[in-house]
């Protein structure tokens, strides 16, 4: 059952008018009373209607951004795209991470309840899509970056994962590679399934290993296959970090890249230019994804209806020495 303003008022021992004044920052409220009301709002998870609050309070000219962690390799580039766009529109940015799991989500929810921002850009943390959908239904404008195949009911910005996988396969096939290994990410992600399907549509293979997007995962997968005398002449890794682990394992085993085994990654993070050898990879336009999501959200806040379909940005194959 949805928490109401009456529930907050009753729990805090104040009137509904006092709760409304705290939420909308209108009228004089004793500092200790306001603090108690905000604490109850956070405890109960109360989410006021953004439309009603907006009418009462006006715009905060602040955009929220929720991400799993800032340690993801491409997060900095994506965040910069959001920051550049938001600041150019004279908005501020309030950044939330989910490094502490449920505690982080609760803290984020309290800020939603207090209407600290007008809308939200999201890179979906694990197991939060249901909560985000509820917030959207309650009136919070949200734009999701990389929907992972979940196709939420609110706007999103995605990239051509299937075509990216196909472009990697076409490149390897043109180079005469016929026994590829595909090292995926976790297969419950829609983007992982799309990359695999796209690759297999061009270069069919049954040699598929589910990885975890880590350098260690890429290294261990290749070490295990080499120890078992499994033959492959190329590797398509679903991100550049795991591709770096592949390169490390091949080098340790005395396999030459690309002469013996060619390697292709995905993302084109800055590290990809500096691996040994430099990594051929499928570039995701991460900064443009951030810019596009921020523009979409700001346009919506300005009264423009949101698009019915995701904004789709193209991937691009970047050829370097690991698979020339």
| Alpha-carbon torsion (185, 190, 195, 199), positive or negative | positive
95 contact partners, CB below 8 Å, separation of at least 6: 64, 65, 67, 79
Average pLDDT over residues 142-154: 81
Which range has the top average pLDDT, 92-106, 145-159, 289-303? 289-303
Which burial class, exposed, middle or buried, applies to 302 when counting CB atoms under 10 A from its CB (0-12, 13-18, 19+)?
exposed
For residue 323, pLDDT beyond 90: yes
Average pLDDT over residues 310-319: 96
Q: What is the pLDDT of residue 279?
A: 98
β partners of residue 182: 208, 236
pLDDT digits (tens, 9 = 90+) for 169-200: 999 999 999 999 999 999 888 899 999 999 99
Tell me the whole-structure pTM to 2 decimals.
0.79
From CA 239, how far away is CA 255, in angstroms rounded? 21
For residue 150, pLDDT beyond 80: no
Average pLDDT over residues 112-138: 84
144 contact partners, CB below 8 Å, separation of at least 6: 122, 123, 124, 132, 152, 154, 155, 156, 157, 293
Q: Give the closest residue to 236 by CA, choosing from 323, 147, 114.
A: 323
From CA 128, how far away is CA 145, in angstroms rounded? 14
């Amino acid at each position: 059952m949805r928490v109401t303003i009456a529930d907050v008022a009753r729990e805090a021992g104040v009137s509904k008018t006092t709760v409304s004044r705290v939420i909308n920052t209108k009228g004089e409220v004793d500092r200790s009373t306001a603090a108690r009301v905000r604490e109850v709002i956070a405890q109960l998870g109360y989410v006021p209607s953004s439309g009603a609050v907006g009418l009462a309070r006006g715009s905060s000219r602040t955009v929220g951004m929720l991400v799993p962690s800032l340690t993801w390799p491409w997060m900095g580039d994506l965040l910069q795209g959001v920051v550049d766009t938001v600041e150019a529109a004279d908005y501020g940015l309030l950044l939330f991470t989910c490094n502490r799991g449920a505690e982080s989500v609760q803290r984020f929810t309290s800020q939603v309840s207090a209407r600290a921002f007008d809308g939200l850009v999201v890179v979906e943390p694990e197991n939060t899509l249901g909560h985000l959908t509820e917030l959207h239904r309650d009136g919070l404008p949200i734009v999701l970056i990389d929907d992972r195949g979940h196709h939420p009911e609110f706007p999103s910005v995605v990239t051509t994962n299937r075509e990216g996988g196909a472009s990697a396969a076409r490149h390897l096939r043109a180079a005469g590679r016929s026994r590829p290994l595909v090292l995926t990410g976790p297969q419950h992600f829609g983007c992982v399934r799309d990359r695999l399907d796209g690759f297999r549509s061009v270069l069919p293979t049954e040699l598929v290993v589910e990885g975890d997007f880590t350098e260690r995962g890429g290294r261990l997968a290749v070490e295990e296959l080499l120890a078992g005398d499994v033959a492959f002449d190329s590797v398509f890794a679903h991100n550049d970090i795991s591709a770096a682990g592949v390169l490390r394992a091949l080098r340790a085993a005395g396999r030459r890249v690309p002469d013996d085994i060619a390697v292709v990654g995905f993302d084109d993070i800055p590290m990809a230019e500096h691996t040994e050898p430099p990594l051929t990879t499928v570039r995701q336009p991460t900064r443009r994804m951030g810019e596009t999501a921020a523009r979409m959200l700001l346009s919506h806040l300005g009264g423009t209806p949101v698009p019915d379909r995701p904004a789709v940005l193209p991937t691009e194959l970047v050829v370097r020495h690991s698979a020339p």
